[in-house]
Amino acid sequence: MKDLNARKRARGIDRAFDILDHLRAVKHPQRPGEIAQALGAPKSTVYDLVATLVEHGMLETVDSQGNVFLGRRLYFLGLAYQEHFDLAREAGVLLKEITAQTSETSQFCMLDGEKYTVAMMCEGSRPFRISADVGERTPIPWTASGRLLLGGMADEEILTLIPPEDFTLPSGERMNRDAFLAEVRAASRQGFFSFDSIVDSFTHCFAAPVYDEAGKCVATLCIVAPKEDARANYDTYKQILIDAGRSLSDLLRG
């Protein structure tokens, strides 16, 4: 009976995180019934969990219709995490340095489950501004960073992690999975990857790895530049990014 109760509690915690992740993904308030439908979960379970999350400030009721959204307690937890997380603090400093040296948009990127996300960004100073929604979850195969962030995984693990539909590009073209895996291996060997963006036709993306003490790529530093600027300054941008990635990796290794 004790093991059964423990499993029920664990499932409840998992479902609570599913609710938080869902609201983060949709980016707008929803009623508990809508959340239950989206998650394919029993309405009674979702209503109970939403009430508990509201009680603890993890969610907030935003109107008289019962719509809820992420609560301010999550904001304060995020601030506490950022104060403790040296990597994010140091990454912010490096992004400013990268952008100051190149005038281009720089980014600090990580995996978020089976997706890629821009965790921090410093906008460039060129007239042609490039920006991204920080925190937006993007299919891993669409990104330069994804090739580096998957480098420590076996092919089977990668294909299990990435949803099959994420190999379909915005154009509707289907990406060759074997070619993608080959790029992952090449990026891992070279400690760098760049390509013309497959999301838009104007930019070139550079990515350099950030390694932890175990030698695993846990984040990337990136430059997103207009194609002409990228071609004219390719070697310079590449070296600046690699040097910054090594600096951040050295910090993690103590």
Domain ends where: 50, 75, 100?
75
In a domain, 129, yes or no: yes
Of the two residues 110 and 80, the one the predictor is more confident about is 110
Same domain, 30 and 99: no
Residues 69 and 42 in one domain: yes
Say if CB 224 and CB 130 are below 8 A apart: yes
Which tokens in the block code for residue 25?
């993904």
Residue 16 lies in a domain: yes
Indicate if the pLDDT at residue 150 is higher than 60: yes
DSSP-assigned letters across all residues of 183-215: HHHHHHHHT-EEEE-SS-SSEEEEEEEEE-TTS
The pLDDT tens digits for 26-42 are 889 999 999 999 999 88
Closest CA to 55 of 40, 73, 39: 73
The residues with which 105 forms a beta bridge, in sequence order, are: 224
182 pairs with which residues across the strands?
Answer: none
Instruction: Provide the 10 A C-beta neighbour count for residue 102.
Output: 21
If asked whether residues 56 and 148 sit together in one domain, one would say no
Asked whether residue 65 falls in the same domain as residue 148, the answer is no
What is the average per-residue pLDDT within 219-230? Answer: 94
Classify residue 123: in a domain, yes or no: yes
Would you state the pLDDT for residue 252?
Answer: 77
**Structural contact between residues 221 and 95, judged by C-beta atoms closer than 8 angstroms:** yes
Q: What span, in angstroms and rounded, lies between the C-alpha atoms of 159 and 162?
A: 5
CATH number of the domain enclosing 238: 3.30.450.40
Query: What mean pLDDT comes out for the span 189-208?
Result: 91
pLDDT, position 2: 46
Same domain as 248, residue 127: yes
Is pLDDT at 6 greater than 70 in this prediction?
no
127, pLDDT greater than 70:
no
- In the chain, how many domains are there? 2
Is 80 inside a domain boundary?
Answer: no
How far is Cα of residue 205 from the mean position of the Cα atoms in its chain?
16
| Mean per-residue pLDDT of the chain | 88
Measured CA distances, 146 to 63, 192, 215, 216 (Å):
39, 11, 17, 13
- Shared domain for 101 and 45, answered yes or no, is no
Residue 238 lies in a domain: yes
Contacts (Cβ under 8 Å, ≥6 apart) of 157? none
* Number of Cβ atoms within 10 Å of the Cβ of 29: 19
Of 75, 99, 124, the residue at which a domain comes to its end is: 75
Claim to verify: residue 67 and residue 93 sit in the same structural domain:
no
CATH of the domain at 30: 1.10.10.10
Write out the residue range of the structural domain in which residue 48 sits: 2-75
Q: With 70 as the cut, is the pLDDT of residue 254 above it? A: no
